[in-house]
Amino acid sequence: MLPVAAVTAPTSNAVGDCEFGYYAGEYDDYGDSICEKSSWSIEETNDGFDRLVYGSIPVDNSDISNDPYDFNLFVRCTSKKLEVFGSSTYELFFENAYRSGGPVQVKFDSSKVVNYKFTKSTNNKGFFLNNPKTFSTALSKARNKVAMKFSSSRGIVVLQFPVADFAQSKKIYSSAGCKF
Rounded Cα–Cα distance for residues 174 and 179 (Å): 5
Q: Which of 82, 115, 121, 132 is nearest to 98 (CA)?
A: 121
Number of C-beta neighbours around residue 93 at 10 A: 24
Q: Tell me, what's the pLDDT at 6?
A: 44
57 and 33 in contact (C-beta within 8 Å)?
A: no
Rounded Cα–Cα distance for residues 176 and 52 (Å): 7
- Domains in the chain, ordered, with CATH? 22-175 (2.60.40.1880)
Q: Tell me, what's the pLDDT at 80?
A: 93
Q: Which of 99, 80, 59, 75 is nearest to 168 (CA)?
A: 75
Give SS3 for 171. Answer: helix
Phi-psi region of 5 (alpha: psi -120 to 50; beta: other; left: phi over 0): beta
Q: Tell me, what's the pLDDT at 59?
A: 94
> Over its length of 180 residues, how does the chain's per-residue pLDDT go in tens digits?
444 444 444 444 444 578 999 988 888 898 888 999 999 999 999 988 889 999 999 999 988 888 888 999 999 999 999 999 999 999 988 877 777 889 999 999 999 999 999 999 999 999 999 999 999 999 999 999 999 999 999 899 999 999 989 999 999 999 999 999
Number of C-beta neighbours around residue 78 at 10 A: 17
Measured in whole angstroms, the distance separating CA 34 from the mean position of its chain's CA atoms is 23
